[in-house]
Amino acid sequence: MKGLILSGGKGTRLRPLTFTRAKQLIPIANKANLFYVVEDLAKAGVKDIGIVISPETGEEIKQAVGDGSRWGVHCTFIVQEQPLGLAHAVKTALPFLGDDEFVMYLGDNLLSGGISHLVEEYKRGGIDSTVLLVPVDNPSQFGVAVLNEQGQVVRLVEKPKDPPSNLALVGVYIFNHHIHEMIADLRPSWRGEYEITDAIQALITHNFRVTAHQVRGWWKDTGKPEDLLEANRLILSQITRSIQGHIEKSDVVGEVVVEKDAYIANSCIRGPVHIAGKVVIENSYIGPYTSIGTGTKIVHSEVEYSILLNESEVYNLPYRLDSSVVGQGVVVDGRGGGPRKHTLQLVLGDRSRVQL
């Protein structure tokens, strides 16, 4: 069985963060979203992985992932010239996939519980496709599945105005070679894209067996800044305490990771928090659900429920930085002074400069 990770697209909902980076490489708890996906496939025994990339961000993804050897897998990169839908991505990857069974996994999705159980069941045979579902409050924003009394998929609709159920398709699918036959006959949807939901519906119409599983634990599509923060919270909720950096006259409470060569002085850290190497924190407060990237400096400031990418700098803030995503190399410089009675929420692209 092969793996197919979709890592194209322009990430417009994550502007300005994605003006300078692929959305799949934005870190969650100091690890690129895409790396969680590769790890999940590797744990499920999927070792031959194709990664669909776009011309705009493909080189960055190639450099970040490499050949896949660090995860014990082999990665092949497949360029999708235009973002014409998930089914079009599969069609583009056909020379890599051939007639093999494969797991398709969206590169900006996160799952707890992994996919090993899905792969194991599929390999037992008798199934042409497996989809993963989760109940949502806003099904009109997703592909939606309708199940019969036996729990089999009988109908799929992409982003329906009047949803027939609240079961949304999660970005993980398993297919055999029959999916290529269905995709070959597809026409663009009203969105101008070749929809994978239409291809799966065609499998159902042609009496192929499509099974469904509901997500074990949680699932997150990290397509918007608030989704990144929620994903960061979910991942940080699973970390365990590990202090390797230098801590001086500071209060470090709860599940906190401080990597080697980080330096914390005269500060309070309340976990869960992940602090990468070479970070400097002085005279500051770092609150729960915050991840701080390599080489970042935080001085005389308060930060909580936020993501700070590598080499960012936060100084003398008069407000508590909260629910923020701060890009790489950003400088946020405040006037300082006085109690921090208010919060400040920022989403800043790489190399931004903000003075308060």
Task: Count CB neighbours of 60 within 10 A.
Answer: 16
Q: In the predicted model, what is the mean pLDDT of the chain?
A: 91
Quick one: pLDDT at residue 339? 57
Architecture field, domain 2-235: Alpha-Beta Complex (3.90)
Quick one: pLDDT at residue 27? 92
Q: What confidence category does residue 337 fall into, taking pLDDT thresholds of 50, 70 and 90? A: low
Interaxial angle between packed helices 58-65 and 33-43, expressed in degrees from 0 to 180 and rounded to the nearest 10: 50
Please classify residue 264 by burial: count the beta carbons closer than 10 Å to its beta carbon, then call 0-12 exposed, 13-18 middle and 19+ buried.
buried
What's the whole-number mean pLDDT along residues 297-312?
96
Delimit the CATH 3.90.550.10 region(s) of the chain.
2-235
Quick one: pLDDT at residue 340? 65
pLDDT exceeds cutoff 60 at 16: yes
DSSP string covering 235-293, please?
HHTT---EE-SEEES-EEESSEEE-TT-EEES-EEESSEEE-TT-EEES-EE-SSEEE-
Quick one: pLDDT at residue 46? 96
Instruction: Give per-residue pLDDT as tens, 118-139.
Output: 899 898 888 899 999 988 888 8
Delimit the CATH 2.160.10.10 region(s) of the chain.
241-355
What is the bridge-based pairing of β-strands 2-7 and 48-53? parallel
Mean pLDDT lowest for which of 9-13, 20-24, 115-119, 131-135? Answer: 9-13
Say whether domain 241-355 belongs to CATH 2.160.10.10: yes
Please report how many Cα atoms fall inside a 13 Å half-sphere around the Cα of residue 307, on the Cβ side. 28
Instruction: Give per-residue pLDDT as tens, 139-157.
Output: 888 888 988 877 788 888 8
What is the model's pTM? 0.90
Closest CA to 294 of 265, 247, 329: 329
Instruction: Give per-residue pLDDT as tens, 50-90.
Output: 999 998 888 999 999 999 999 999 999 999 988 888 999 99
Q: What confidence category does residue 336 fall into, taking pLDDT thresholds of 50, 70 and 90? A: low
Quick one: pLDDT at residue 355? 86
